[in-house]
Amino acid sequence: MKRSIVTGGGNNDKKFKAQPPPKNNYRGGGDDEEDDEFEEDDDEDEGDEFGEEEDEDDIDVENIIASDSMDIDIQDDGSQQLFLWSRKPVQDLVPHKKPLIFQQLEVDYTEIKEPVPGMPGPKVGPLPAIRLFGVTKEGNSVLCKVHGFLPYFFISCPPGFTEADCKSLKHDLNESMKMSSNQSNEKDIENIVVSIDIEKKKSIMGYNPNPLSDFIRITLILPKFVTRCREIFESGRHHFTIPGQPFRQYQTYESNILFALRFLIDKGITGCSWIELPANTYKLSETPVSTCQIEVDTSLETIISLSDDDSPAPYRILSFDIECAGRKGVFPEPEKDPVIQISNIVKNNGDAEPFIKNIFTLKGCSSIVGAHVIPHKREEDLLREWRKFVIKVDPDVIIGYNIVNFDIPYLISRARQLKIPEFALLGRIKTTISKIKSTRFSSSNLGTRESKEISMPGRTQFDLMQAIQRDHKLTSYSLNNVSAHFLKEQKEDVHFSIISDLQNGTDDDRRRLAVYCIKDAVLPMRLLDKLMILINYTEMARVTGVPLSYLLGRGEGIKVLSQLYRKAMVENFLIPTYKVTGKGEKFQGAIVIEPTPGFYDTPIATLDFTSLYPSIMMAHNLCYSTLLSAEEAKKLPPEIYTTTPFGDHFIKSDTKKGLLPRILEELLSARKKAKDELKNEKDPFKRAVLDGRQLALKISANSVYGFTGARVGKLPCLEISRSVTSFGREMLDKTKKIVEERYTIANGYKHDAVIIYGDTDSVMVKFGVKTVAEAMEMGRDAAKFVTTTFIRPINLDFEKVYYPYLLMAKKKYAGLYWTKPDIHDRMDVKGLEMVRRDTCLLVRNVVSTILKKILIEKDLKSAEEYTKSVISDLLQNRLDLSMLVITKALSKTQYKGKVIHNELARKMRARDPATAPNLGDRVPYVVIQGSKGAPIYEKAEDPLYALEHNILLDCQYYLDKQLKAPLIRIFKPIMSNPDLIFHGEHTRTIAQSTLSDNNKGFFGTLKKKKVCMNCPKELTDTESTTCINCQHKEASLYQTSLEKVTSLETKFSEAWTQCQRCSGSLHQPVLCSNRDCPIFYMRTKVQLDLIEAKKTLNRFNVEW
Amino acid sequence: MFEARLLQASLLKKILESIKDLVESANFDCSPEGISLQAMDGTHVTLINLVLRNEGFETYNCDRSLSLGLSLVSLSKILKCAGNDDTLTIRARDNESDTVTFVFESPKNDRVSDFEIKLIDIKNEQYSIRKSDYSAVIKMPSAELQRICRDLSIIGEIVTISANKEGVKFSVSGDSGSGNITIKPTSDSDVPAEQATVIESKEPVVLNFALKFLSNFTKATPLSPMVTLSMSEGIPVVVEYKIDDLGFLGFFLAPKIE
pLDDT, tens only, B195-210: 889 999 999 999 999 9
Q: Is the pLDDT of residue A22 over 50?
A: no
Which chain B residues are within 8 Å of A1016, Cβ to Cβ? 27, 29-31, 65-67, 126
Do A677 and A719 belong together in one domain? yes
Residues 6+ apart with CB under 8 A from A236: A247, A248, A249
| Domain CATH code at residue A927 | 1.10.132.60
Do B17 and B113 belong together in one domain? yes
CA of A396: how far to CAs of A131, A727, B221, in Å? 14, 46, 79
Residues 6+ apart with CB under 8 A from A945: A908, A911, A951
Mutation for B interface: A873, A949, A960, A1002, most B CBs within 10 A: A1002
Do A790 and A668 belong together in one domain? yes
| Most confident listed range (A11-15, A687-691, B4-8) | B4-8
Q: Evaluate whether residue A992 is within a structural domain.
A: no
Q: Is the pLDDT of residue A14 over 60?
A: no
Do B248 and B167 belong together in one domain? yes
Do B145 and B230 belong together in one domain? yes
Give how far B111 is from chain A: nearest CA, Å: 31
Contact across the interface for A929 and B212, Cβ inside 8 Å:
no
Q: How far apart are CA A1092 and CA A1049, in angstroms?
A: 12
Contact across the interface for B127 and A1009, Cβ inside 8 Å:
yes
Which chain A residues are within 8 Å of B122, Cβ to Cβ? 989-992
B99 touches chain A (CB under 8 A): no
Which chain A residues are within 8 Å of B237, Cβ to Cβ? none
Q: Evaluate whether residue B129 is within a structural domain.
A: no
B117 touches chain A (CB under 8 A): no
Contact across the interface for A1015 and B44, Cβ inside 8 Å:
no
Q: How far apart are CA B249 and CA B48, in angstroms?
A: 8
**In this predicted structure, what is the pLDDT of residue A347?**
92
Q: Is the pLDDT of residue B143 over 90?
A: yes
Half-sphere CA count of A859, side-chain side, radius 13 A: 9
Q: How far apart are CA B247 and CA A823, in angstroms?
A: 71
pLDDT in tens, A74-123: 444 445 556 678 888 888 788 888 999 999 999 999 988 888 888 888 88
Do A746 and A699 belong together in one domain? yes
Q: Evaluate whether residue A91 is within a structural domain.
A: no
Q: Is the pLDDT of residue A65 over 60?
A: no
Do B63 and B94 belong together in one domain? yes
Phi and psi (nearest 5°) for A820? Answer: -120, 150
Q: How far apart are CA B2 and CA B64, in angstroms?
A: 8
Mean of pLDDT values over B116-145: 85
Domain boundary among B118, B149, B167: B118
Domain count along chain A: 3
Q: How far apart are CA B4 and CA A70, in angstroms?
A: 93
Domain boundary among A830, A856, A875: A830
Q: Is the pLDDT of residue A51 over 60?
A: no
Which chain A residues are within 8 Å of B24, Cβ to Cβ? 932, 956
Residues 6+ apart with CB under 8 A from A681: A687, A690
Do B16 and B87 belong together in one domain? yes
Q: Is the pLDDT of residue A305 over 50?
A: yes
Residues 6+ apart with CB under 8 A from A498: A1071
pLDDT in tens, B41-63: 877 788 899 999 999 899 999 88
A562 neighbors A545 (Cβ within 8 angstroms): yes
**In this predicted structure, what is the pLDDT of residue A75?**
43
A839 neighbors A886 (Cβ within 8 angstroms): yes
Do A971 and A1018 belong together in one domain? no
Do A843 and A822 belong together in one domain? no
Domain boundary among A932, A952, A987: A987
**Is the dihedral angle over the CA atoms B203, B209, B211, B216 positive or is it negative?**
negative
CA of A974: how far to CAs of A599, A979, B103, B112, in Å? 6, 12, 41, 43
- Which helix (H) or strand (E) segment holds residue A676: the answer is helix A659-680
Q: How confident is the model at residue A73 (pLDDT cuts 50, 70, 90)?
A: very low
Which chain B residues are within 8 Å of A877, Cβ to Cβ? 123
* Mean pLDDT of all residues belonging to chain A: 81
Do A793 and A837 belong together in one domain? no
Do A859 and A807 belong together in one domain? no
| Secondary structure class of A846 (helix, strand, coil) | helix
Mean of pLDDT values over A186-203: 85
Q: Evaluate whether residue A397 is within a structural domain.
A: no
Domain boundary among B65, B92, B118: B118
| Domain CATH code at residue B148 | 3.70.10.10
Phi and psi (nearest 5°) for A943? Answer: -55, -40
- Which helix (H) or strand (E) segment holds residue A134: the answer is strand A127-136
Q: Which amino acid is at A365?
A: C
B120 touches chain A (CB under 8 A): yes
Q: How far apart are CA A144 and CA A549, in angstroms?
A: 18
Do A929 and A887 belong together in one domain? yes
Q: Is the pLDDT of residue A66 over 50?
A: no
Do B161 and B201 belong together in one domain? yes
Report the first-to-last Cα separation within chain B, whole angstroms: 50
Domain boundary among B118, B144, B168: B118
CA nearest to B44, candidates A134, A950, A723, A551:
A950
CA nearest to A198, candidates A159, A235, A228:
A159
B65 touches chain A (CB under 8 A): yes
Q: How far apart are CA B138 and CA B131, in angstroms?
A: 15
**β partners of residue B53:** B34
Q: How far apart are CA A958 and CA A878, in angstroms?
A: 14
Contact across the interface for A1016 and B120, Cβ inside 8 Å:
no
Annotated binding-site residue numbers of A for Zn(2+):
1012, 1015, 1027, 1030
**In this predicted structure, what is the pLDDT of residue B137?**
93
CA nearest to B179, candidates B166, B204, B206, B160:
B160
Give how far A1009 is from chain B: nearest CA, Å: 5
Q: Evaluate whether residue A1032 is within a structural domain.
A: yes
Q: Evaluate whether residue B123 is within a structural domain.
A: no
Query: CA A561, A567, A568: angle at the middle one, nearest 5?
Result: 85
Half-sphere CA count of B226, side-chain side, radius 13 A: 15
pLDDT in tens, A335-380: 888 999 999 999 998 888 898 999 999 988 888 888 889 999 999 9
**In this predicted structure, what is the pLDDT of residue A19?**
41
Q: Is the pLDDT of residue A441 over 70?
A: no
Longest distance between any two alpha carbons in chain B, whole Å: 58
Contacts of range A809-812, beta carbons closer than 8 Å, 24 or more positions apart: A809/A595, A809/A597, A809/A969, A810/A592, A810/A594, A810/A595, A810/A757, A810/A759, A811/A592, A811/A759, A812/A969
Parallel, antiparallel, or unpaired: how do β-strands A573-574 and A436-443 relate? unpaired
| Secondary structure class of B112 (helix, strand, coil) | strand
Do B113 and B174 belong together in one domain? no
pLDDT in tens, A1019-1032: 777 777 777 777 88
Q: Evaluate whether residue B130 is within a structural domain.
A: no
Domain count along chain B: 2
Name the residue range of residue B181's domain: 136-253
**In this predicted structure, what is the pLDDT of residue A175?**
85
Do B107 and B191 belong together in one domain? no
Helix axes A533-544, A507-530, angle to 10 degrees: 40
A168 neighbors A245 (Cβ within 8 angstroms): no
Q: Evaluate whether residue B126 is within a structural domain.
A: no
Helices marked H in A620-658 — which ranges?
A: 630-635
**In this predicted structure, what is the pLDDT of residue A1012?**
79
Q: Evaluate whether residue A429 is within a structural domain.
A: no
Do B84 and B147 belong together in one domain? no
| Identity of the residue in A995, A1003, A1029 whose CB atom sits nearest the CB atom of B64 | A1029
Annotated binding-site residue numbers of A:
1012, 1015, 1027, 1030, 1059, 1062, 1072, 1077
Q: How far apart are CA A1075 and CA A1082, in angstroms?
A: 11
Q: How far apart are CA A61 and CA B145, in angstroms?
A: 94
Q: Is the pLDDT of residue B256 over 50?
A: yes
B116 touches chain A (CB under 8 A): no
Q: Evaluate whether residue A462 is within a structural domain.
A: no
A1025 neighbors A1033 (Cβ within 8 angstroms): no
Phi and psi (nearest 5°) for A664? Answer: -65, -45
pLDDT in tens, A960-1014: 888 888 888 888 888 777 787 777 777 777 776 666 554 455 565 667 777 777 7
Contact across the interface for A1005 and B235, Cβ inside 8 Å:
yes
Q: How confident is the model at residue A638 (pLDDT cuts 50, 70, 90)?
A: confident
**In this predicted structure, what is the pLDDT of residue A835?**
53
| Identity of the residue in B26, B98, B125 whose CB atom sits nearest the CB atom of A994 | B125
**In this predicted structure, what is the pLDDT of residue A950?**
73
Phi and psi (nearest 5°) for A365? Answer: -155, 135
CA nearest to A433, candidates A451, A452, A413:
A413
pLDDT in tens, A579-596: 766 665 666 667 788 888
Q: Cis link prior to A793 (omega < 30° from 0)? A: yes
**In this predicted structure, what is the pLDDT of residue A468?**
86
Do A766 and A893 belong together in one domain? no
| Identity of the residue in A929, A1005, A1009 whose CB atom sits nearest the CB atom of B126 | A1009
Which chain A residues are within 8 Å of B130, Cβ to Cβ? 1005, 1007
A462 neighbors A552 (Cβ within 8 angstroms): yes
| Most confident listed range (A131-135, A673-677, A797-801, B252-256) | A131-135
Q: Evaluate whether residue A355 is within a structural domain.
A: no
CA nearest to B164, candidates B150, B184, B181, B190:
B184
For residue B235, give the chain A residue with the closest CA.
Answer: A1002
Q: Evaluate whether residue B99 is within a structural domain.
A: yes
Do B140 and B249 belong together in one domain? yes
Contact across the interface for B42 and A928, Cβ inside 8 Å:
yes
Q: Evaluate whether residue B147 is within a structural domain.
A: yes
Q: How confident is the model at residue A48 (pLDDT cuts 50, 70, 90)?
A: very low
Q: How many C-beta atoms lie closer than 10 Å to residue A209's C-beta? A: 9
A148 neighbors A473 (Cβ within 8 angstroms): no
| Secondary structure class of B229 (helix, strand, coil) | strand
Q: How far apart are CA A311 and CA A632, in angstroms?
A: 49
Q: If you ran DSSP here, which 8-state letter would residue A433 be given? A: P
Radius of gyration of chain A (CA): 35
**In this predicted structure, what is the pLDDT of residue A695?**
83
Q: Is the pLDDT of residue A47 over 60?
A: no
A827 touches chain B (CB under 8 A): no
Name the residue range of residue A659's domain: 580-830
| Most confident listed range (A262-276, A538-552, B180-194) | A262-276
Q: Evaluate whether residue B208 is within a structural domain.
A: yes
Q: Is the pLDDT of residue A488 over 90?
A: no
Which chain B residues are within 8 Å of A952, Cβ to Cβ? 42
pLDDT in tens, B56-94: 899 999 888 888 889 898 899 999 888 888 999 999 887
| Domain CATH code at residue A740 | 3.90.1600.10
Q: How confident is the model at residue A45 (pLDDT cuts 50, 70, 90)?
A: very low
Q: Is the pLDDT of residue A610 over 90?
A: no
Do B113 and B151 belong together in one domain? no
A458: region left, alpha or beta (phi > 0 left; psi from -120 to 50 alpha): left
Q: Evaluate whether residue A592 is within a structural domain.
A: yes
Q: How far apart are CA B234 and CA B231, in angstroms?
A: 9
Contacts of range A628-634, beta carbons closer than 8 Å, 24 or more positions apart: A628/A206, A628/A207, A629/A206, A632/A206, A632/A207
A63 neighbors A86 (Cβ within 8 angstroms): yes
| Secondary structure class of B171 (helix, strand, coil) | strand
Do B205 and B235 belong together in one domain? yes
For residue A1027, give the chain B residue with the closest CA.
Answer: B65
pLDDT in tens, A317-343: 999 999 988 776 667 788 888 999 999
List for chain B the helix, strand, coil content (%; round to 5).
20, 45, 35
Do A891 and A785 belong together in one domain? no
Exposure letters A267-304 (e unless 16+ CB within 10 A, then b): bebbbbbbbbbeeebbbbbeebbbbbbbbbbbbbeebb
A49 touches chain B (CB under 8 A): no
Phi and psi (nearest 5°) for B141? Answer: -60, 135
Contact across the interface for A1017 and B31, Cβ inside 8 Å:
yes
Contact across the interface for B118 and A952, Cβ inside 8 Å:
no
CA of A154: how far to CAs of A219, A229, A448, B214, in Å? 9, 11, 33, 79
Q: How many C-beta atoms lie closer than 10 Å to residue A163's C-beta? A: 10
Mutation for B interface: A876, A928, A931, A958, most B CBs within 10 A: A931
